[in-house]
Structure 1
Amino acid sequence: MQKYDGVFHRMGMNVNHAMLTRLRGQHLLTLFSLLMVFECIISLELLELRVPAHVALGARAQLSCRWALSAADVLYSVKWYKDGKEFFRHVPRDSEPRRKFPLPGVDVEKSDASGSNLVLSHVVSESAGRYRCEVSGERPLFPTVSEHADMDVVVLPNHGPVITGLHTRYRLGDYVQVNCTSGRSRPPCHLSWYINGEPAPAIAVHPPVYTLYGDELQTTLLQLNFKITQQYFTKNGVKVKCLATLASLYWRSNEESALLERVKLYESLLPDVQKTNYKVDRVFSHTNHACYTSSTANVVGAVIILSLRLLNV
């Protein structure tokens, strides 16, 4: 009775000897067995599973599984699965503690002594899938815990984003319409536009267009369309940048610039000067004044324009 009383006391249950005497035979044995099972189950805990969400095609993938056992427990096995199929096993008491099982797309390059850390070499498209780590304790109850995570294999572009359609010069009121196209990848890249270092307003960015090719790779095209306003004249040029990202593995950008031209005052007056010259020609042709000719009026207009240029107006 003292032994059973100690078990109940550790579980936080206030049971005296008088109550224990009321328990008979199988009832006491069943209750004691349940308590032992409960203590055994909670003694094994899976603390962390690390599986990279994205891995570049041809790169290595590191898998990690951490667990905790109580001081009285013993590890029985660590097993790794992909899509429900076992590809690696670590059983410390076996004559061959670590074993690999052939599975398409899964090649274990190395593992540590406990089987908790694996390195997969040169992943291929078939390497993508759901990976599970399963840890079991020793007999008689073999408590088991497991966790899973998904991994995707990414095909990175072989070049950065390309900008097309940008002119060398723009004036106030002109429209800038440019395209950005990513390299082929799987999945497609995410593109973003920036104007003079700031994110482009949403109204200036068109919805992305995706193109799928025969090799199952895709490109992304994103168009930027905005009007040159006074805010872009703070400097002598306007810069547009396209940023391409893919998961946490790829981050490339391309930036191009164009000059901004200010309209000179003499250029804005030029049409009026030409009209004035035309009127002078008509007046002097009707009055037949020999001292003034159309060529004289043209000279006057040219002098005005030249003066304004010299003043840099």
Structure 2
Amino acid sequence: LDTSKTMRKMWCWLIVFHLFVLYDFVHCITLTEVRVPKHTIRGHAVKLECHYDMEGEALYSVKWYKDGREFYRYVPRDEPPGSVFPQPGITVDYRCEVSAEAPSFQTVSDHGEMMVVVLPDQDPYITGGKPRYQIGDPVRINCTSGRSKPAVHLTWYINGDPAEPGLLKRYETRVTGIDKLETSTLGLEFRIKPKHFKHGDMKLKCLATISTVYWKSNEESVEGEKLQKAPTLESRRAVSADSRADRVQAASSNRATEGTDRLTASKLAIYVFILLASYRYTS
């Protein structure tokens, strides 16, 4: 008899356990989606979304956490239902937590990462350049960004093409101020070759980026000095041309002189012949 009672109790507890499991399985709240932007700019508004399905349960609360610390709470039965707890930070992990009312008090959560960007306080600028270069001259210039968080990524371009890694000189990022903002500098060093000048000039551009939220550039256009021709070569050519002209003119003068002399001699011979004929006739 005792054994029979014990068995009945066990079956009752087993049925209750199955009913509880079945209830918990049927009424299970779920987080369908948590939307957190990858980047945002400091001081700008941002939208965080937490989508959930209560599956018939009553909502107790929705809470948002940043790096494990609560910064927003929504409890429908409170007045007001929403509460904000500001938290500072740059790179943060945002988590949404949804809880059900009694008797289950189920809680589900999911997270997403977002970086708060501090934009540079000035655009990138180029230093060390010259207005003109000749073939064979060395180029040593730097591009420096404004203070930001995170550090700006710098890229050099020569005539629109990315500079080869071997031409770049990298400097350590400088961290300054109580806000720990960062300054980036990237150098470009190479020797001028004929291929660098297109249509007489060369374009050097520095591009500064932070993910997809910041995109600025600075470009310098430098001229190539034109090499002057050697003056001795021009003088020789001029002298040579004058000599040929003189020879042509001298030859023409000689031929004209010879023709004039022959004509004068002919006239003189005719005059002498006429005089002789006249003398004979008078005699």
TM-score computed with the length of structure 1 as normaliser: 0.64
Letter in 2 for 1:25: C
Looking at structure 1, the residues matched to 137 and 238 of structure 2 have their Cα atoms a distance apart, in angstroms, of: 28
**Structure 2 residue 33 is matched with structure 1 residue 69:** no
Aligned counterpart for 2:161 among listed residues 185, 198, 223: 198
Could you tell me how far apart the structure 2 residues matched to 1:97 and 1:147 are? 25
The answer to whether 1:154 aligns with 2:117 is: yes
- CA distance 1:306–1:180, change in 2 (3 Å): farther
In the TM superposition, residue 244 of structure 1 has moved relative to its aligned partner by 0.9
Matched, 1:303 2:267: no
1:191: Cα distance to partner?
0.7
Distance 1:237 1:36 in 2: 78
Give the Cα–Cα distance (whole angstroms) in 1 for the partners of residues 188 and 78 of structure 2. 65
Change over 3 Å in CA distance of 1:128–1:171 after alignment to 2: closer
Distance change >3 Å, CA 306–CA 143, structure 1 → 2: farther
2:23 match: 36
Q: Does 1:184 align with 2:168?
A: no
- In the alignment, does 2:214 pair up with 1:250? yes
Return 5+ residue gaps in structure 2 as ranges.
1-9, 240-283
What CA distance in whole angstroms lies between the structure 2 residues aligned with 1:306 and 1:48?
Answer: 87
- % identical equivalent positions: 42
Q: Distance in 2 between matches of 1:97 and 1:31?
A: 39
**Gaps (5+ residues) in structure 1?**
1-22, 106-124, 274-300, 308-313
1:227 matches 2:194: no
Which residue of the partner structure matches residue 174 of structure 1? Answer: 137
Match of 1:59 in 2: 44
Distance 1:161 1:91, change over 3 A: same
1:49 corresponds to: 34
Give per-residue Cα distances to partners, 1:246-275, cap 9 Å, x unaligned: 2332211100010123434x23xx6xx4xx
- TM-score, normalised by the number of residues in structure 2: 0.70
Query: Which residue of 203, 213, 227 maps to 2:176?
Result: 213
1:302/1:263 CA distance change after superposition, 3 Å? closer
Q: Which structure has the greater CA radius of gyration?
A: 2
Please report how far the alpha carbon of residue 242 of structure 1 lies from its aligned counterpart in structure 2 after TM superposition. 0.5
CA shift at 1:64, angstroms? Answer: 1.5
The answer on whether the counterparts of 1:187 and 1:217 sit within 8 Å (CA) in structure 2 is yes
Pair 1:51–1:172, CA change in 2 (3 A): same
Provide runs of 4+ in structure 1 moved above 6 Å.
none
How far off its partner does 1:127 sit?
6.9
Aligned to 2:63: 79
Return the offset for 1:75: 2.8
Corresponding letter in the other structure for 1:197? G
Distance of 1:261 and 1:126 partners within structure 2: 52
Give the number of aligned pairs: 229
Distance in 2, Cα, partners of 1:212 & 1:305: 65
- Matching of residues 221-300 of structure 1 within 5 Å: 221-264=185-228, 266-267=229-230, 273=232
**Equivalent-residue separation in structure 2 for 1:83 and 1:255 (angstroms):** 41
